[in-house]
Structure 1
Amino acid sequence: MSLLAWNCRGLGKSHTVRFLKETINYYRPNIIFLSETLVKNKRVAEVCKKIGFADYFAIDAQGHGGGLALFWKNEGGVKINNSCSNYIYFEVSNDQVGRWRYTGIYGYPERRRRAEVWEMIRGLSQHSTSPWYVIGDFNDLMFDTEKRGGSSHPRSLLQGFSDTVADCGLIDLGFEGECFTWERCRGTDLWIHERLDRGLANREWMEFFPNATVKVVDVSTSNHLPLFLDLNKKVYVPKEKRFRFENIWIHEKDCFNVVNNCWMDMERRDLMQKLAQCCVKLEEWGGGLVKEM
């Protein structure tokens, strides 16, 4: 299973929906969490049909800001536990894995309200000790290195967010792709990059999904880059290479010498050992032949 989280900055735009469909076709997420949809429930229902998802849950935008949306496919069960203008807290169940929790989050952009979001996260962490993952636009930073350009981020905010994450037993899984997920004033002297979007998991969730990865999707119609959470990324383990004799080698005058010399060197060994060593020598010789060609 997989999840896409994105601050889309307006679900009412046709190009936003087009990008969403293209991303779905490429990454195949089972669940999508969107923040700053800037639309009402009716528009979210229309988008749900357009992208071909089974169901949705939405928090209406207020005025000219906010709005959350959650879409999911038929695979697995989704149960909404709690929600507000800042988050959708839900459970997912799967016959093969079990049950775990998600929180799709959108933090207040106003610095004076950051502490309110921290308290929300603390409150949600106390609901259960089951596997839990929090993902979305926190509108917050944990370290100085998560910002480039502009004035330094206040130390009190860095510390406050970091303390919240630690107190809730959450761990940043890291990411693949771009270092920063948000930018402003691109190409000017006021250009600012920040890592406002991230995914955090408790240890129970990490034990559920030890191979999970987060990728920053590097193309977007928003000034925020989407996050793609892949729960079951397969680790590539190269298969043992099998020896293949190439018929063209017969026409090479050195082929006989390679086999003959190997056979003589392995005179006191049994047949299987001789054959194994011949394979090694022929592969070495054949590889050098390819390079020369």
Structure 2
Amino acid sequence: MSLLAWNCRGLGKPRTIQFLKHITQQKRPSIIFLSETLAREKKVAEVCKTLNFAGFISIEVQGRSGGLALLWKNEGGCTVIEATRNYIDFEVENEGVGRWRYTGFYGCPERQRRRESWGMLLNLRERSNLPWCVIGDFNDMMYEDEKRGGNKQPSYLLTGFTETLETCQLKDLGFVGEKFTWERSRGSNFWIQERLDRGVANQKWRELFPEAEVEVIEVATSDHLPLYLQLNRRVYMPKEKKFRFENIWVREKECRNIVKHGWEAGETRDIVHKIKSCGEKLQEWGGGITKEFKRKLGHC
């Protein structure tokens, strides 16, 4: 079972829907939590149908900001406990594991309202003794190094959020991938990066899912990066790579010589071995060029 949480900054953009379709096909999350949907319930229903999910709940946008949505695959094993403008509290039934609780959270973005966010977490803590996991955009940071650029985060905000998590007995689940999940003014002198999105859980939940892992996924359709939580991390055995000729190699002058030397190296063998010899030489030589091309592409 897996879960996706993302501040999508609006479900009205075709690129956002395309990304959700792609990530659903690739990662197959059982639950998707979206914040800042900027959408009405009708739009969320369309997205739910497009992704082929069984059920959803939507907190509609008010004015020009906000909006939450929770979509799930297995309607029978999921129960919504409470839904507000800032969170959707959800109970999950896993076969062989039992019941646990998930809260999709969206903290108040206004600095003067951060104490409201902390109060919500404290109130949620008192409502259940189930294994509990909270993931979303908290609009808060725990440490100074979770921000790059701009003014330093005030210490009272760092301390207040950290102490709230400690009181709730919620510990950070860590992450794989990019450290900063939100950014503004990329490439300029005012570029700011922060880790506002995270997953936290209590001891019972971490004991229930000791191999759980949070992955930060790169995406260009929002200023926030999505979080993908895999409850039972799978270990894949590496497969033997098959040779594939890259068209970009033809542009390199050295390619002709590599083929020539590879062919001549197998001159005493049959044509199958000659082709294999060429492939091995090309793969050894062309790997660096392919990586360099991908690096340049990523930079662009």
Separation in 2, partners of 1:227, 1:79 = 22
The residue that corresponds to 1:157 in the other structure is: 157
Identity of aligned residues (%): 60
Q: CA deviation at 1:96?
A: 1.5
Structure 1 residues 75, 176: CA separation in 2 closer, same or farther (over 3 Å shift)? farther
1:46-125 correspondence runs (5 A): 46-74=46-74, 77-125=77-125
Q: What's the CA shift for 1:76?
A: 5.8
Q: Equivalents in 1 of 2:134, 2:233: separation in Å?
A: 19
Aligned length: 238
8 Å contact from structure 1 (residues 76, 94) kept in 2 = no
Q: Does 1:189 align with 2:186?
A: no
Q: State the SS of the aligned residue for 1:162.
A: helix
Please state how far the C-alpha of 1:156 moved relative to its aligned partner.
Answer: 0.3
1:14 is displaced (CA, Å) by 1.3
Change in 2 beyond 3 A, CA 1:210/1:237: farther
- How far apart, CA to CA, are the structure 1 residues paired with 2:36 and 2:66? 4
Residue 4 of structure 2 corresponds to 4
1:1-293 residue pairs with structure 2 within 5 A? Answer: 1-74=1-74, 77-235=77-235
CA contact (8 A) 1:106 1:137 kept: yes
**Cα distance between partner residues in 2 of 1:45 and 1:192:** 34
Runs of 5+ unmatched residues, structure 2: 239-300
**Preserved contact between residue 19 and residue 220 of structure 1 (Cα < 8 Å):** no
Superposed CA deviations along residues 15-72 of structure 1, whole A, max 9, x for unmatched, are: 1101110111111100000000001111100111011111100000000000000000
Query: What secondary structure, in the 3-state scheme, does the structure 2 residue paired with 1:47 have?
Result: helix
Aligned partners of 2:77 and 2:92 also within 8 Å: yes
Residue segments in structure 1 that go unaligned for 5+ positions in a row: 239-293
- TM-score, normalising length: structure 2: 0.78
Bigger Rg over Cα: 1
Q: Check conservation: 2:4, 2:32, Cα contact below 8 A.
A: yes
Q: Normalised by the size of structure 1, how large is the TM-score?
A: 0.79
Q: State whether residues 97 and 208 of structure 1, in contact with CA within 8 Å, keep that contact through their aligned partners in structure 2.
A: yes
Question: Is the contact between residue 133 and residue 199 of structure 1 (CA under 8 Å) also seen in structure 2?
Answer: yes
Change (3 A) 1:106 1:64: same
| 2:224 match: secondary structure | coil
Provide the rounded CA distance (Å) in 2 between the counterparts of 1:24 and 1:194: 26
The answer (yes or no) to whether the contact 1:76–1:95 under 8 Å persists in 2 is no
Contact 2:54–2:75 (CA under 8 A) maintained in structure 1: no
The code of the aligned residue for 1:60 comes to: E
What are the superposed Cα offsets for residues 237-275 of structure 1, whole Å, 9 maximum, x if unpaired? 99xxxxxxxxxxxxxxxxxxxxxxxxxxxxxxxxxxxxx
Inter-partner Cα distance in structure 2 for 1:56 and 1:41: 10
Name the aligned partner's letter for residue 8 of structure 1. Answer: C
